[in-house]
């Protein structure tokens, strides 16, 4: 059953009417970008792509992205640096610019948060989830973020509590909610389930 608070990522779609395309891709997200610009030289010529090969990809797609001949391609070493670059580009962008995000969920979430900060409504951002299903989880108790959570329960990387991953997603935090699992039964943990590979 879909999670009501979790965003739906319908897949990238080229908005032919956009004046500019601002594309953020992580890891396997590059494949989704390649797919929408395939054979669309005009659109690619007005695209700025920010790409980080990222943890979820076995392969670096930078060369193939360069072959699209985008207006600009920024290959960044990490999600964090990609977001910093994206923020710089958003700061100078005008209406008519369409924002795209593809990659792991945590990365998409950060792109949406950047868009929001610059006045872009999250509903107008095209998104595609590629690669790992790992979740970014915020501990509701200490507010610390743990990246790449693949199992529940897991141990908070900040406060050390055993957290259960609740099916509740915050767009603003780009994270699921982690809640302590064993406080009613100290020391008794449910079996660990690998759910989000």
Partner 1 sequence: MTIQFKKETFRDDFTFSNSPEAIRRFPFPFDKDQYMYAVNIEQHMPGPEKSPYEFPIDIDEHYVAEMEDRALVLKQDPLRCQSLPHMITAEWDLVELLMESMAKNYPEHFQLTRDGDRWHWVNQPLGIDQRFTFGDTATLPCPPMEYITRQCQGDFNLLDQRHDNLWMDAGIVTTQADWSLDFDIGMNFMEWHAPVPIAHDLGVFDRALKFLLNLQQGRPVRRLNWTMTINPRLDTSPENYHKWGIDRTTVTPENVGNKVHLRVELQALWRLPRSNAIVFSIRAYLIKMEELVTIPKWARRFHRVLRDLPPELADYKGLTRYRETTVDWLSKYDDGAPTSPGFFPD
Partner 2 sequence: MSGGVEIPVRVSRVEQATATVKRFSLEAVSGEPLPLYSAGSHVVVTMAAPDRKIKNPYSLIDRAPDGSTYRIGVLRTRDSRGGSAFMHERVEVGTELSITMPVNLFPIVRTGRKHILVAGGIGVTPIYAMAEELRRQNLPFELHYAMRDAASGAFADELVARHGDKVRLYRDDAQEIIAVDRILWRQPLGTHLYVCGPEGMIDAILAGGREAGWPDENLHSERFMAHVSGEPFSVRLAKAGVTTEVRPDQSLLEAIEEAGVDAPYLCRGGACGQCETAVLEADGELMHHDHFLTEEEHASGKKIMTCVSRLKGRELVLDL
Sites of contact with partner 2 (CB under 8 A):
15, 17-20, 90, 93-98, 118-121, 123-124
Quote the least distance from Cβ 123 to partner 2, whole Å.
Answer: 5
Q: 69 with 49: CB under 8 angstroms?
A: no
Contacts of 102 (CB under 8 A, 6+ apart): 12, 23, 24, 25, 26, 29, 30, 32, 33, 108, 127, 128, 129, 130
Does 180 help bind partner 1 (rule: CB under 8 A)? Answer: yes
* DSSP code for 195: -
Reading the block at residue 28, the tokens are 């396997």
Which bin fits 24, alpha (ψ -120 to 50), beta or left (φ > 0)?
Answer: beta
Question: Alpha carbon 77 to chain centroid distance?
Answer: 15
Give the pairing type, strands 151-152 and 154-155.
Answer: unpaired
* Residues within window 110-149 making contact with partner 1, judged by CB under 8 A: 121, 123, 138, 140-141, 143
Quote the least distance from Cβ 123 to partner 1, whole Å.
Answer: 7
Reading the block at residue 5, the tokens are 């608070």
Segment contacting partner 1 by CB under 8 A, of 72-80, 101-109, 146-154, 177-185: 177-185
If the CB atoms of residues 8 and 94 are measured against partner 2, the closer one turns out to be 94
- For partner 1, the binding residue among 8, 94, 95, 185 (CB under 8 A) is 185
171 binds, among partner 2, partner 1, none (CB under 5 to 8 A by kind): partner 1
DSSP-based three-state secondary structure for 129: strand
Segment contacting partner 1 by CB under 8 A, of 3-11, 12-20, 29-37, 66-74: 3-11
Quote the least distance from Cβ 100 to partner 1, whole Å.
Answer: 20
């Amino acid at each position: 059953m879909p999670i009501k608070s979790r965003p739906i990522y319908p897949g990238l779609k080229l908005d032919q009417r956009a004046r500019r395309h601002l594309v953020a891709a992580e890891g396997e997200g590059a494949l989704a970008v390649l797919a929408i610009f395939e054979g669309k030289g005009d659109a690619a010529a007005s695209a700025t792509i920010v790409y980080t090969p990222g943890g979820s990809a076995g392969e670096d797609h930078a060369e193939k992205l360069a072959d699209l001949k985008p207006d600009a391609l920024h290959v960044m070493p990490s999600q964090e640096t990609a977001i910093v670059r994206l923020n710089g580009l958003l700061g100078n962008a005008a209406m008519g610019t369409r924002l795209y995000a593809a990659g792991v969920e945590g990365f998409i979430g950060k792109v949406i948060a950047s868009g929001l900060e610059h006045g872009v409504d999250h509903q107008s951002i095209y998104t595609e989830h590629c690669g790992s299903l790992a979740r970014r989880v915020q501990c509701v108790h200490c507010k610390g973020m743990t990246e790449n959570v693949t199992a529940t329960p897991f141990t908070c990387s900040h406060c050390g509590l055993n957290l259960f991953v609740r099916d509740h997603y915050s767009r603003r935090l780009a994270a699921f909610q982690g809640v302590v699992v064993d406080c009613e039964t100290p020391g008794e943990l449910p079996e660990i389930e690998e759910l989000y590979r």
